[in-house]
Every structure is written in C-alpha cells, then in structure tokens.
Amino acid sequence: MKEKEIRDRMQTNLVIPDVVQERAQLAFDRIRKDQIKKGKVIGMRKKRRKKSMWIIIAAAVFAFGTMTACAAYLRWSRGIEAQLQATEEQKRMLEEEQYTEPLKNEGDSAEQTGGVTDAGVTVTPLQSIVDSRFAWLSFLVEGYELEEGQEPCFNDITIVADDNIEAPISWTGSFYNGIHRNEEGNPVYEDGSPADGEIFVKEDGSMEYIIIIDATQYGGLTGKKLHVEFTDLGTVYKTAYTPDLEASWSFDFTLKGSDKVRTLTLSEPLGDTGATVIYAEISPISLYVNYEFPLQEEMVEGVNENGESIASRDFVEAPPVTGVRLKDGTLDGYITGGGSMGYLGESTEVYTCSFQLDRILDVDQVDALLFRKAWPETSRAMTEEDVYIVPVE
C-alpha cells in the first residue's frame, strides 16, 4: 500500500483524540532524537526513509487509538445502529458516556468468541446500550437457513435479572427486519426507500435479534446480572409458531451502562386535559415523565362479537410524551417506541409514562418536551398544532 493510501485511509476511518495525537507526537520526537544521535536527521534522507517514518507513526497512532477511536464503530450492531439512526458523533457520545458496551457472555457455555452453538446455529452477543430505565441487547444469529417470505422466531425466551425469577422483566424482542421509522413516522428501509416487506437476512446469510427491556419497574439494570436463554427456532405467521430446530442458547451478562440523566422539575398544564407535567428525566435513549392527573373514569362504547352495541368502563389517559424540540427549532415528534403508561404505584393522582426512543438524543440540546394532542390525519412531519409543548431549561 502506498504512503498516500495509508494516510488517506487513516484520515477517513479514524477520528484521533487529542491524547492519541500527543502520544504519537511524543513517539515521533523520541524517534527524531534517536535519529539525530545516530547522525540521521529527518528531512535529509530520501523519500524511502520518510515513508518508513510515516509507517512508524501510523503504527503508534493505531496502537494508542484502536481502543478509543475505532471501538465505537467496530462493536455497533447493524440493527441497533439502523433502528436508532445513529450518526458517528452520536455513537462516540454513547461510548464516551459509557451507555454502550460490547455484550460479553460470562456463562459456562461461552466460547472464545462469546458465541454459543447448538443444532448448527450459532448465537453471539454483540452489543448493549443501557440507561437507568431501558436496555438494548443485540445478538448475531448464524447458520440458520430461512426460506424466502418466512419470518424467523424463537419459540421461547427467558430473561431473569439478578437470579430473581419472582421479579418480572418487561421486554420485547424480534429479529431485525431492515425497517425503521423516518421523520414522518413512516416505515422505511435503511436507504430511506419506502418499506414494502421485511428483510431479515443480511448479505452474509446472518440475522440479528434485538431485545429491548423496560426495567423502569425493576429499578434499572446497570451493573446487574442478566440471564438470557433462547429456546428452539422456527418461523411464525401471525401468532402461529412453526418449529424447525430444537436447541437452546444460554447467556449470562453483567450489564454495564450509565444512570446519567437530565432531570427536570416542572409545573406545566397540558391545555384543558387536566394533566400537569411535574417531573421529567431525559437520557440519550429514553424519556420518563410524571404528571399530576387525578383518576378519571369514562364509558367507552363498542361492538361485541355478535355485532351488538356494548359499553364498558375505562380510565382517561394523559397525553403521552411523543418527542422533543431541539434548541435549533427542530421538532422530533416520532421518536418514542415501546414503554409503559399508568398511575405511579398505588397513587390515583400521579400518572407516569416511560418510553424508549427510536433516536439518540443530545440531552443538552433539548429545549422542550412534546406531548401528543392528536395524530396527523395524513402521514407528514409533526407540527406544533399536533402537540402540547412544555419548555424546559
């Protein structure tokens, strides 16, 4: 490889931190001093000698920089990166703040790669992103031949935290299907084109399974032990599972992550809904909100299976948080994913909602929370008329 090609490749693929540049300069200075002592002053040699010096410095930069600058890119799973639409800057931010780490199997069945193989299929943990309330986990699945038009599915998944089988963990999981939501809330492929079907298999024949855990009721998962076990593998149509392989893949992790959040004490009514926002937490991957909202009952009319009109008693819900406004005026209105809503503990006065995000936030750039007033009638970007806006400082 030519010197220019080496230099261009490094400049393209590496974002070199200041400390790495300083260490590389120190290495360069030491080499220069050694050369001077030997009567070989850099700058008076032929180009061939300069080329070898560049390679030495390149090696020094790679040695100091690989664990910092490259790590954020090498360990991101394709599915999580696409679903969160993560930019390089956002990925570096999550790693520097220690929200994300490689997911390492500590179980007895762990091989050197961390993967577990059964019935010819290997499942390998890839990445975790963990904050005070939610956790993303991704796994690579290799060796399973999926017929075109089929949707893969594990028959059963067990998730236990801290060996406490009595404390339920709320989670959702699925094979990554190549689809995420755009700014208008519409499903699109990774290249931005409209999604007209699901793509489960990558170019190399592998697949990726993503689990999102809502640990709000559990008190968070940072620093805790987590056991995950996948059982059997097949396909699913609607809710009908068709078995294919009898196997199991078991993993044990100590989840790392960050509890760092931006906390807000508020007192902002949401129009005439009767709800007042009193508290919020914003992390790069989740939103948590408390409201003062006294319990209200309502009668809901519907139709039963016989086509007869029926009425049932239900409870009025507070407007859910649906996104944020940034300091530059951008409205990110379709960024909340799965989560939970309801009254806090035994209270019938304090209502809460907690959602994971489909984007990565720079929490310091948030200047308002958005609460859904009404869904747009057509697919379009959300506007101020669609939401209640709660400014934050």
Q: What is the pLDDT along the chain (393 residues), one digit of tens a residue?
A: 434 343 343 333 333 333 334 434 444 344 333 433 333 333 323 222 323 332 333 333 333 333 333 444 457 999 999 999 999 999 999 999 999 999 999 876 555 567 999 999 999 999 999 999 999 999 999 999 999 999 999 999 999 999 887 777 899 999 999 998 887 888 899 999 999 999 999 999 999 999 999 998 888 999 999 999 999 999 999 889 999 999 999 999 999 999 999 999 999 999 999 999 999 999 999 999 999 999 998 888 888 888 888 888 888 999 999 999 999 999 998 899 999 999 988 889 999 999 999 999 999 999 999 999 987 776 788 889 999 999 998
Q: Residue 130: what residue type?
A: V
Q: Record the tokens describing residue 239, joined without a space.
A: 């809710």
Would you state the pLDDT for residue 108?
A: 63
pLDDT of residue 44: 29
Task: Supply the pLDDT for residue 113.
Answer: 61
Instruction: Give the pLDDT of residue 109.
Output: 57
User: Which has the closest alpha carbon to 139: 205, 74, 79?
Assistant: 79
Predicted confidence at residue 253, as pLDDT, reads 94
Q: Among the residues of 142-202, which ranges form H helices?
A: none
Angle at 83 between CA 77 and CA 86, to 5 degrees: 75
Residue 208 DSSP symbol = E
- Extract the tokens encoding 305: 């299976």
* AA letter at 183: E
Tell me, what's the pLDDT at 34?
A: 41
What is the DSSP-derived secondary structure letter of residue 178? S
Residue among 201, 62, 65 at smallest CA distance from 144: 201
Taking CA atoms, 149 is separated from 59, 181, 204, 235, 236, in Å, by 47, 22, 18, 10, 11
Contact predicate 349/292, CB 8 Å: yes
Q: Which residue has the tokens 């299907």?
A: 177
Distance between CA 120 and CA 246 in Å, rounded? 11
Nearest alpha carbon to residue 289 among 366, 181, 390: 390
pLDDT score for 143:
97
Report pLDDT for 298: 86
Closest CA to 126 of 116, 113, 139: 139
> In the prediction, which pLDDT does 389 show?
97
Region for 223 from its dihedrals, namely left if φ exceeds 0, alpha if ψ lies in -120 to 50, beta otherwise: left
- Spatial separation of the C-alpha atoms in residues 182 and 174, rounded to whole Å: 19
How big is the chain, counted in residues?
393
Non-local CB neighbours of 154 within 8 Å, separated by 6+ positions? 209, 230, 231, 232, 233
